[in-house]
Amino acid sequence: MNVVVDLNRCQGYAQCAFLAPEVFTMHGEESLLYHPVVPDGQLEQVRRAAVACPVQAIVMGEEAGAGAR
Amino acid sequence: MHGEPRDGRIVIVGASLTGLRAAEKLREEGFTGSLTLVGEEPQPPYDRPPLSKQVLLGKVPAGHTGLPQRRELDAQWKLGVRATGLDPIEKRVLLADGAEVPFDRLLIATGTRARRWPHPAEGALDGVFTLRTSDEARRLAERLDAGPRRVLVIGAGFTGSEIASACRERGLAVTVAERGPAPLVGALGGTLGALAAKLQRAHGVDLRCGVTVTALEGDGRLTGAQFSDGTRIDADIAVVALGAVRNTEWLVESGLAAGPRGVTCDAGCRAFDMYGIVTDDIFAAGDVARFPHPLFEYQLLSLEHWGNAVAQAEVAAHNMVNPGPRRRPHLTVPAFWSSQFGLNIKSVGVPTFSDQVVIAQGSLKDARLVAVYGYRGRVTAAVSVNQARSLEYYQRLIETAAPFPPAPGAADQIESPDPVPSDVPDPKLLSHGPTVALTGHLPDRRLTVVQPAR
């Protein structure tokens, strides 16, 4: 499972960094860094973070074109 | 076209963010025909913004920025093969491996590539890099891991500045060479450029503005660089961050209005041919597209923004499978972000489309502010530094062509309320010249011939 954050939308509310700190971390006051490949065992936390994001900036899904490699 | 617009064969050339989002949107809109994505890189679509941030910082491996897909695509992927030509009469895309892919409708989403160092021999020195692809990011991150004594970054636009920021965060010595008077000045103008220069120096960057790199030195391996002011430095790594080149060469004989500035299309993403006549079944979107935006006097914009790629891909896809009256214009207000030296910089509108700028909230001293840009008395852009939540308000001012300078808002106002010249470079000076030339005089002999890039 992969994740991408629309950082035009993101306003640094940091809900995701609170709910899934292994995947989302704040860098400086309002910049967000994240791991696009969700590690095993973090899926539920990331799902919760995606739902909780006040601006709905987190997109989750299977890695695109994974079968095409 | 094969019957209904929701049937037939659609080919997307370019398998990155734009191609992926367009493919998803096509299926979402009920396209049931065959869908093929052609991509030059062997990897499936991946996200590029993390390459100059998470990846260079060593927090995320370069191969781990794959994009999630939002739905099943039922697509045929042709990855690791470049498109080399387009035959618009027979309606087929020619590939580097000799294959031909027929289409009923085509989306051009070939994006850009990093501009190379102009001297091939110097550019081939071990230690000279560009940063655009996942592979380039991986190799550069590996070399940063090895602890170079000094990194030279050539060009202080957004990518160059982010690279310099990542290097400083790793504790590496960095020299930045910028031809202009300050970092980011080409995109944000003089006021924020001056702030960026101050910040880079405060973070220990050896920033040299108003100079160009005249030579990269080395014998097989990079050892240093010479500058136009006569100075030189030792450096193990040089990152060439001189902007992007649009991938349009494969279209040179296609008869489309494709050149160094991109593929010109209408607001509905339909590509123009080189006579300026809109095509019916060839569309363009993303970094490679050049389109008129009503908010900016219908000027043709080419944007290299993540958000534009997504929005334009969706408009193009919608218009590819809907009849004329249901087609939509691409009217998104341009927006982008950058993260560097601990700051979150976000922009809406087109800052270069301006003659004046005013600090509407916050202050330069605190490096927390919103700069609002105006053109002939109306708001055309806003840039926030560590104040992203204010930006939406200014986006609405841009959308409604609100008067500039904006009326004093509810927020604090520390800086002078008086606008100053925005000092953005005159785009005419950046011009690459016309990409076509006219010949002939009689109306039926009037022809357009493609002018190669100079």
Contact A62 B68 (CB under 8 A): yes
Three-state DSSP string of B152-219 = EEECCCHHHHHHHHHHHHCCCCEEEEECCCCCCHHHHCHHHHHHHHHHHHHCCCEEEECCCEEEEEEE
A31 occurs within a structural domain: yes
Contacting residues for B306 by C-beta, under 8 A, at least 6 apart = A6, A7, A8, B17, B48, B49, B336
Contact A7 B386 (CB under 8 A): no
Contact A28 B336 (CB under 8 A): no
Number of structural domains, chain A?
Answer: 1
Distance between B50 CA and the closest CA of chain A, angstroms? 8
What CATH number is given to the structural domain containing A34? Answer: 3.30.70.20
End-to-end CA distance of chain B: 37
Q: Which of B20, B46, B386 sits opposite A30 (nearest CB)?
A: B386
Q: Do B143 and B237 contact (CB within 8 A), yes or no?
A: yes
Q: Cα B278 to chain center, whole Å?
A: 24
| Closest to B240 (Cα-Cα) out of B156, B150, B168, B305 | B156
Residue A8 forms contact with B (CB below 8 Å): yes
| Closest to A65 (Cα-Cα) out of B123, B372, B2, B68 | B68
Q: Which of B60, B310, B336 sits opposite A36 (nearest CB)?
A: B60
A41 occurs within a structural domain: yes
A69 occurs within a structural domain: no
On the 0-12 / 13-18 / 19+ scale of CB atoms within 10 A, B66 is buried
Residue A57's closest chain B neighbor by CA?
B307
Contact A36 B388 (CB under 8 A): no
Other CB atoms within 10 Å distance of the CB of residue B454? 6
A54 occurs within a structural domain: yes
pTM: 0.94
pLDDT digit string (tens) for chain B, length 454 residues = 444 688 999 999 999 999 999 999 999 999 999 999 999 999 999 999 999 999 999 999 999 999 999 999 999 999 999 999 999 999 999 999 999 999 999 999 999 999 999 999 999 999 999 999 999 999 999 999 999 999 999 999 999 999 999 999 999 999 999 999 999 999 999 999 999 999 999 999 999 999 999 999 999 999 999 999 999 999 999 999 999 999 999 999 999 999 999 999 999 999 999 999 999 999 999 999 999 999 998 999 999 999 999 999 999 999 999 988 899 999 999 999 999 999 999 999 999 999 999 999 999 999 999 999 999 999 999 999 999 999 999 999 999 999 999 987 655 666 777 899 998 887 555 445 556 667 776 766 666 666 655 4
User: Which residues of B are less than 8 Å from A30 in CB distance?
Assistant: 344, 386, 388
Residue A63 forms contact with B (CB below 8 Å): yes
On the 0-12 / 13-18 / 19+ scale of CB atoms within 10 A, B121 is exposed
> Three-state SS for A24?
strand
Q: How far apart are CA B370 and CA B363, in angstroms?
A: 8
User: Which residues of B are less than 8 Å from A67 in CB distance?
Assistant: 77
ipTM score assigned to the predicted complex: 0.96
A32 occurs within a structural domain: yes
Distance between A4 CA and the closest CA of chain B, angstroms? 6
A46 occurs within a structural domain: yes
- Among B54, B67, B72, B303, the residue to mutate for chain A (most A Cβ within 10 A): B67
Domain that holds residue A25: 2-64
| A39-58 residues touching B, CB cutoff 8 A | none
